[in-house]
Amino acid sequence: MYKIVEMVRTSWQIARSYKMNLVFSILALFFTTIPFYLVAHAMQPMMGDVVKHEGGDYFGFVLLGLIAISLLTTALTAVYQSVSGSISSGWLEAQLGTSTSMPVLLVGMSAYQFLWTFLRVAVLFLYGWTLGVHVHWSGIALGFAVLLLLCVAYFGLGLVLAAMYLAFRTIGPLQSVIVTGSVLLGGVYYPTTVIPSWIQSLSVVVPMTYGLRATRRLVLDGAPWSAVQTDIGMIAVIAVLMLMLGIAAFQLSFDHARRRGTLSMY
Amino acid sequence: MISTTEIPFVTPTPLTQRTTAIACSGLVKSFPIRRGWREALRAPFTTRWQLVTDHLSCDIAQGELFGLLGPNGAGKSTLMRMLATAVLPDAGTATVHGADVVADARAVRDMMGVVAANERAVLWRISARDNLRYFAALLGLRGAARTRRIEEVLELVELADTGEKMVGEFSSGMRQRLLIARALLGSPRVLLLDEPTRSLDPISARQFRRFITRLIREDTKCTVLLATHSTDEAMELCDRIGVLDRGRLLAVGKPADLGAELTRNSFRAWLGPDAEAALDRLVARGVVVSWSPTAGMEELFREFAVEVTEGHQGAAELVRALVAAGVDVARVERVPVSAADIIERVLATSDRRGESADV
């Protein structure tokens, strides 16, 4: 654990050295939320009824969607970005020269990005609350746990992306496909019930669908555990499957890279 | 495989009684050859392979500084990376203090410090001390022991005063020393140095060599495998040199022995007037194999390149015969050899004979 703590500490040191980037990253949180706030309020009369099972407040609905997208993006790209960046500088191979295991390295290399994202979404959530989102605080802990499961599911896919990069030095359009698919089919800006039925059937394989729906019902609607247990069960199963898939893909790709000698070749 | 004794100019240097630190046996590694679009489209499912190490065998003793010399693509870095467990061999075995690089990779990493050719493999935005702190954590060092070890290696590489400086502001030489410090953090028993002076100017490279000599000989006394293009570096630093080409270890020996073997019969002689006729007569008698005048001149003595038959004995006979013929002899000395000559000669001979050394 202390290795991961030290890796996070170092990542923070590096991030801190880019002062303006850090400042803009925080400011962007506040400024990018304003348009969503205004548009959501304008659309409230139209969308209020549509999202009534998930709190009924369209701004709150979108806010949790934005939070889920932030977490998805980090879970999906953190490992891939760390791996791609450290391959080109030889840094990955240098770290692999130590006796630290690969899982610890992968978690340590991406942990800071997760912590930073959690901090940012916490600030975003509190900001939304001050702007009038009605929050059922009793559902916060379970809602957070569901979002963590969502992160695990997309972290598994992130490992697949990193594996692709290790093997082929590109991830092709996979990242865009996953993000776009999750946004369109997972109910980020609208509930999945409003999308055409033939596409709706696709949303059952999107982890975002279950994770986001459960979180919204817990946090915005105050739903009890029994009302969301099916969604939570689904996201838990998907998370385990995705993680196993990701680990297997990364291990295969890593062994392939060691055979081909491409761990530090750009 | 053919033993070194079959290559005429190589003096096999036994490992004496010391413990073996690195043992490679029949290491084979091939990499796929990159193809152009046309070839890839024509035969998308075929792969052509390039042999990078070809049944490479060698033993390196504990505490030895072993140099790997060879042209680009000889297989030096691949051998290093196989020993560092970053590349898996296709066949053969390699052990470091008895631990197999494939089966006991973690144990090997615990014993090894690696300085790769890529000096960009540092964290540029933080200080040298913080870079080492990060790596020390990965090596499992904690608390006061970690702090103490970081200060020790910073002292060793003479970066203690600049330890708080951001690495991005370091010169190439300082970065190289930082990489050495990083490799020494875990008190390794084996140190792999892959072209450590590649990006250094000649003065920095010379300082670096002095530093390495002091570090290895006096301070750490660990086993070192040094891959280099710099023949001077290998000659100056190494206990033994291995000449590698196209994945084959062609010759191994002490730098001085290799040089002496190579130039065994080549001498330069500074001779007085009428030496040409005397040399011709000695060729006819078989004392001299060949001779040629060079551009050198010292006072009245002209310089000649002379090839004799029996090394120093042949040279002695040459002097006797020249004096007997009335030729003034000012000086006779063996031709000094550069390591580039060694490589060239080894490669040329191996091309003719198709051999590899088994050390």
Answer whether A93 sits within 8 Å of B116, measured CB to CB: yes
Using a CB–CB cutoff of 8 Å, tell me whether A264 touches chain B.
yes
Long-range contacts of A228-237 (CB under 8 A, 24+ apart): A228/A142, A228/A146, A231/A146, A232/A146, A232/A149, A234/A210, A235/A146, A235/A149, A235/A150, A235/A153, A235/A207, A235/A210, A235/A211, A236/A149
Using a CB–CB cutoff of 8 Å, tell me whether B106 touches chain A.
yes
Q: What's the confidence (pLDDT) of residue B8?
A: 40
Answer whether B31 sits within 8 Å of A99, measured CB to CB: no
For residue B126, what is the nearest residue in chain A, using CA coordinates? A14
Per-residue pLDDT, averaged over B177-200, amounts to 86
Per-residue pLDDT, averaged over B302-331, amounts to 89
Using a CB–CB cutoff of 8 Å, tell me whether A255 touches chain B.
yes
Indicate the burial class of A214 (C-beta count within 10 angstroms; 0-12, 13-18, 19 or more).
buried
Please determine, for residue B351, whether its predicted confidence score (pLDDT) is greater than 70: no
For residue B29, what is the nearest residue in chain A, using CA coordinates? A259
What percentage of chain A reaches a pLDDT higher than 70?
99
ipTM: 0.85
Using a CB–CB cutoff of 8 Å, tell me whether B139 touches chain A.
yes
Nearest to A99 among B106, B130, B133 (CB): B106
DSSP for A113-172, please give it: HHHHHHHHHHHHHHHHHHTT----GGGHHHHHHHHHHHHHHHHHHHHHHHHHHHHHS--T
For residue B88, what is the nearest residue in chain A, using CA coordinates? A259
What percentage of chain B reaches a pLDDT higher than 90?
36
**One-letter amino acid for residue B205 of the chain:** A
Per-residue pLDDT, averaged over A153-178, amounts to 93
Confidence of residue B12 (pLDDT cuts 50, 70, 90): very low
Interface of A with B in 88-117 (CB under 8 A): 89-91, 93-100, 105
Arithmetic mean of pLDDT over chain B: 83
Answer whether B125 sits within 8 Å of A17, measured CB to CB: yes
For residue B104, what is the nearest residue in chain A, using CA coordinates? A99
Q: What is the distance in angstroms between the Cα of A27 and the nearest Cα belonging to chain B? A: 23
Please determine, for residue B9, whether its predicted confidence score (pLDDT) is greater than 60: no
Interface contacts (A, B; CB < 8 Å): 89
Using a CB–CB cutoff of 8 Å, tell me whether A13 touches chain B.
yes
Nearest to B121 among A3, A10, A91 (CB): A91
Q: Which of A28-42, B32-46, B59-73, B331-345 has the lowest mean pLDDT?
A: B331-345
Per-residue pLDDT, averaged over A22-42, amounts to 83
Rounded CA-CA distance A236/A220 in Å is: 21
Mutation target among B29, B81, B87 for the A interface, most CBs of A within 10 A: B87
Confidence of residue B151 (pLDDT cuts 50, 70, 90): very high
Answer whether B87 sits within 8 Å of A94, measured CB to CB: no
The two tokens of residue B92 are 């053969």
DSSP for A219-261, please give it: HTS---HHHHHHHHHHHHHHHHHHHHHHHHHHHHHHHHHHHHT
Which residues of chain A neighbour B129 with C-beta distances below 8 Å? none
Q: What's the confidence (pLDDT) of residue A22?
A: 83
Q: What's the confidence (pLDDT) of residue B270?
A: 93
Confidence of residue B5 (pLDDT cuts 50, 70, 90): very low
C-beta separation of B196 from B211 below 8 A: no
Confidence of residue B337 (pLDDT cuts 50, 70, 90): low
Using a CB–CB cutoff of 8 Å, tell me whether A194 touches chain B.
no
Q: What is the distance in angstroms between the Cα of A104 and the nearest Cα belonging to chain B? A: 9
Answer whether A264 sits within 8 Å of B29, measured CB to CB: no
Q: What's the confidence (pLDDT) of residue A201?
A: 84
Please determine, for residue B108, whether its predicted confidence score (pLDDT) is greater than 50: yes
Per-residue pLDDT, averaged over B56-80, amounts to 89
Give the residue, A192 or B16, on which the prediction is more confident.
Answer: A192
Q: In a 3-state reduction of DSSP, which class is residue B64?
A: coil
Q: What's the confidence (pLDDT) of residue B354?
A: 53
Q: What's the confidence (pLDDT) of residue A195?
A: 84
Which residues of chain A neighbour B31 with C-beta distances below 8 Å? 260-261
Per-residue pLDDT, averaged over B25-46, amounts to 87
What percentage of chain B reaches a pLDDT higher than 70?
87
Please determine, for residue B261, whether its predicted confidence score (pLDDT) is greater than 70: no
Per-residue pLDDT, averaged over B286-300, amounts to 84
C-beta separation of A167 from A258 below 8 A: no
Nearest to A10 among B29, B32, B126 (CB): B126
Rounded CA-CA distance B268/B277 in Å is: 17
To which residue do tokens 């590649």 refer? B198
Please determine, for residue A194, whether its predicted confidence score (pLDDT) is greater than 50: yes
Q: What's the confidence (pLDDT) of residue B338?
A: 64
Q: Which of B320, B254, B248, B260 is nearest to B288 (CA)?
A: B320
